[in-house]
Amino acid sequence: MKKIGVYICLLLLCVPIHAQSSIDKLINTNACKWANVSVSVRKLSTGEVVDSYRSGNLIPPASTMKLITTATALELLGNDYRYQTQLQYTGKIENGVLKGDLYIIGQGDPTLGGKDWGGNAFLKQWSQVIRKAGITKIEGKVIGDCSYYDGDALNPGWLAEDIGNYYAPGVFAIAYMDNTLNIQLKSGAIGSVASVVSTHPTIPGLTFENHIRCTQIDYDGAYVHGLPYQNCRYLTGAIPSNVGIFGVRGDIPNPSLLLAQHLTARLRVDGVEVRDSASYLSESDRKAKTPLYTYYSPTLAQIVEQTNLHSINLNAEMIFRNLGAQRGVPCTVHNAAEVMKQFWKNRGVDLFTAQILDGCGLAPQNGISADHFVNLLMYMAKSKEKTAFMLSLPTSGKTGTLKSMLVKTELEGKVHAKSGTIKGTRNYAGYIDMPHGDKLVFAVLVNSSTATGVQIRSAIEKYLLDVYRNNK
């Protein structure tokens, strides 16, 4: 019996002890141990599952939601699609006089007046078009018509604390100057209230309820709150003390009206008399109108690239809301979500099991699983819109929101993915370039973690490196 026992012990010593799996290492880190985690990794060429952990669990996706929004738009509309903004008028043009109103009719272009899209240069072009039509006087007004989207410029799924900030602007069929209000504050002594010095753009009648304190912090701790269409903004939080002029950002309360005001001013400078003050419409007045000019946005591919590389909520939400036009105008959040779900239904991405409340990922009620993302990414890697989609993805250690991720590791330049970040959440979904030419398609979603963002990201970086090394 003793000899048998010795033999058994020797045999056990010869059995290799398997290393802890990549997924076990991840979920047992302090960053993930008590968090809500969903992971899916597959080989692109075969669809073989490399790793999976609660891959069907719904997780708030944060900005990884933009992958679904932009992919849907590219598939439905095509990479060369351009959003239209139309100039139309009521009444007649007689002897150089427009006896009626001039309308700016928006259809969801997120780029008008944007800092990365030529700013306000287009206003000069519009003025030339109007003058070439023989108009020297308008016996009416310029009206910004944003009735292509419904009047609910707020997404009902967004948190009240976000609304009015630059990253959660109102969503109108006319976007203008990135819907962003730059506020210059004068910082003073510790404990003092910072004073508002100026804004860009200048908005007629805009007022502030200001409670921003100057404190010992060294970062921007200020928040801007306010509702669409309302010309009052409530300022709270803190900024560093004794630093002179300090900039914070909020949203433009009514971009449709502001654009109409700016076009009015441009026309007057160029010698066109405009009798009345500018105005706006959130609901169509259904008046008969005559087309004058159609302005086209940059291509959808260009807009999608900016959206995903720099995670721009306004772009994503405008693209998302515009999808609702497939079911009817005015475009609504509900219709946009239904269009998205129906499109992917027979394409291997069953979003009817997901929760979709917006297109940019701000709504915490959104719920998307790792499998949803991987199924979508598998499809897009073979789509006719593959090139435009792939070019929009940030690259590890190189571009966009992944520029500081996986730097000086084996995966620098080899991960192409969208990130999603809110407090306690770090999500990544995309592709890993493998040495043999294949790709791994992955989604790693970590939500409700008690760790810092840096700690969560570090755990995910280690996991991706481990998966890469085990499969190369």
Beta bridge partners of 333: none
What integer pLDDT is reported at residue 189 of this predicted model? 97
User: Integer distance in angstroms from the first to the last C-alpha of the chain?
Assistant: 47
**How do residues 221-246 score in pLDDT, each as one tens digit?**
999 999 999 999 999 999 999 999 99
Instruction: Tell me the three state secondary structure of residue 192.
Output: coil
User: Reduced to 3 states, what is the DSSP secondary structure of residue 177?
Assistant: helix
In a 10 Å sphere around its CB, with 0-12 CB exposed, 13-18 middle and 19+ buried, how is residue 103 labelled?
A: buried
Tell whether the model's pLDDT for residue 345 goes beyond 50.
yes
Place of tokens 């200020």: 222
Asked if pLDDT for residue 18 goes beyond 80, the answer is no
Residue 14 confidence (pLDDT) above 60: no
Mean pLDDT of the chain: 95
Predicted confidence at residue 338, as pLDDT, reads 97
For 377, half-sphere exposure in the C-beta direction (CA atoms, 13 angstrom radius) is: 33
| Statement: residue 17 has pLDDT above 70 | no
Mapped onto helix, strand or coil, the DSSP state of residue 10 is helix
How confident is residue 346, by pLDDT bands cut at 50, 70 and 90?
A: confident
pLDDT tens-digit series, residues 253-287: 999 999 999 999 999 999 999 999 999 999 999 99
Q: Which band of pLDDT confidence, cut at 50, 70 and 90, is reported for residue 1? A: very low
Contact (CB, 8 A) for 339 and 323: yes
Instruction: Count other Cβ atoms within 10 Å, centred on residue 76.
Output: 16
What residues pair up with 457 in beta bridges, in sequence order?
Answer: none
**Residues 294-328 pLDDT 10s:** 999 999 999 999 999 999 999 999 999 999 999 99
Residue 242, number of CB atoms within 10 A of its CB: 10
> How far is the C-alpha of 349 from the C-alpha of 343, rounded, in Å?
9
pLDDT at 383: 98
pLDDT beyond 50 at 428 = yes
Dist CA 390 CA 431 (whole Å): 9
pLDDT band at 202 (very low <50, low <70, confident <90, very high): very high
Using alpha carbons, list the distances in angstroms from residue 305 to 72, 172, 268: 14, 21, 36
| Domains 22-80+301-471 and 84-151+255-298 are alike in CATH topology | no
Show the beta-strand stretches assigned E in 306-449: 415-422, 425-433, 439-447
User: Coil, helix or strand for 74?
Assistant: helix
In the chain, pLDDT over 90 holds for what percent of residues?
93
Q: Please check the confidence at residue 15 and state whether its pLDDT lies above 90.
A: no
Give me the pLDDT at residue 146, please.
97
What's the mean pLDDT in 30-39?
A: 96
pLDDT of residue 19: 54
| Domain assignments of the chain as residue spans, ordered by start | 22-80+301-471, 84-151+255-298, 177-251
Q: Per-residue confidence at 151, pLDDT binned at 50, 70, 90?
A: confident
**pLDDT > 70 fraction of the chain, expressed in percent and rounded:** 96
Average pLDDT value for residue range 74-86: 98
pLDDT at 7 over 50: no
Choice between 59 and 6, residue whose per-residue pLDDT is larger = 59
Evaluate the CA torsion angle 4, 10, 16, 20 in order and state its sign. Answer: positive
Helices 333-345 & 313-323 angle (0-180, nearest 10) = 80
Which pLDDT belongs to residue 8?
44
The answer to whether domain 22-80+301-471 has CATH 3.40.710.10 is yes
Q: How far apart are CA 373 and CA 337, in angstroms?
A: 16
User: What angle (nearest 5°) sits at the alpha carbon of residue 220, between those of residues 185 and 309?
Assistant: 115
CA distance 243 to 216: 11
Q: Indicate the fold that domain 84-151+255-298 takes in CATH.
A: D-tyrosyl-trna(Tyr) Deacylase; Chain: A; (3.50.80)
Q: What is the pLDDT of residue 395?
A: 98
Q: Read off the tokens for 368.
A: 């998307």
